Chain A
Amino acid sequence: MQAVGKHALANEQADYEQLYYAHRARVLRLCHLLLGDPDEAQEVSQEVFLKLHRALLADGAPINWGPWLKTVAVNACRDRRRSRWWRWGRTSDAYVDNEHASSFLTPEQSALSQETRQRIWRAFNSLPGRQKEVFALRHLEGWSTEEVAGALQLSSGTVKRHLFRAVQHMRAALGGAK
């Protein structure tokens, strides 16, 4: 009996590591996009993987862990944004083009000019929270409208409206960069 328990625990540990390495980068990137702050993104993604660990221990039922992790990440980022004004005095919101921050490409590999990246980043950061979430899940993560609506507890019509407004806003910012 004890051997079976140990075996299950070892399986869960293996599952956790597999899931962690498979999804860590995308979850971190999503948190960075939604929070606009790499340090907070690190903290929130750690919380997300802590929840994954607990979920693996608590529930053996097979879950589609990728969307589950991203939904948990979006909710955790929203909670973090709500409590952010307490730490208002901590930092300014000026962005610097830190080439090493959460990058998948080196600066040499980057195809876009620094100005274009800054412009897109600022435009994305100035979106309202819901529009950011919808744009990230619908366009960047490739979820369907219904999946986004289910994860964010919105109607399909609201998801479409948020997506349209976000795209308009982002394109307006892009207009000056092209």
Chain B
Amino acid sequence: MNRCVSDETLVAIATGEGGAAERTHARQCPRCAARAAALADDLRLLRHALLEEPLPALDRAPRARWIPVAGALAASAVLALAWAVAPWRTAPAAQPIQVAQVSNLALDASVALFDPSPNTIAQVSDGAYIEAALNGGWPCGGLGLYDVDCRGADVAALYDE
């Protein structure tokens, strides 16, 4: 075996594993032997430090209690906001206009504009009133019928209907 062994193989050799050829190479190759020696030193140091040296203790200073509370509040606010703007919470889509609705609307408009009954706004007497007003000024509107200046013809025209 001529190629130098990988770091993984070197760890396996250092912990008592690895193939015979790799072990032989790690012993004979100066570069791999130096790597193996450095690894063995480190492992010895780690073992000593973790098994025999005093282990540090935890600092028992209590953590700030407000951090989890503030976190929970912030999370609640985000959830509430997300719920408010969620796509499934928006107004329902506009319903398509039905043909019957259009017909009813047209009928209502027609009745409002052209119905000759007294309840409707547009009346023939209004036309006559406007015509009289155009011809002779604005003589006899409302209480003006009893004015001295109110002309009889205009008044008659108003009450033609």
Contact = CB atoms under 8 A, between A and B. Distances in A.
Interface stretch (B42-50, B80-88, B134-142): B42-50
A83 interface: no
A32 B55 contact: yes
B10 to A, nearest CB: 9
Contacts of A104: 51-54
Contacts of A168: 7
A158 to B, nearest CB: 13
B68 interface: yes
Interface string A66-109: 00000000000000000000001111111111111111110100
A139 interface: yes
A interface, size bucket:
35 or more
B62 A140 contact: no
A-B residue pairs, 5 tightest by C-beta: A103-B54, A98-B57, A94-B59, A101-B57, A95-B56
14 contacts: A32-B55, A88-B63, A88-B68, A89-B62, A91-B58, A91-B60, A96-B59, A103-B55, A111-B48, A117-B53, A121-B55, A139-B15, A168-B7, A174-B46
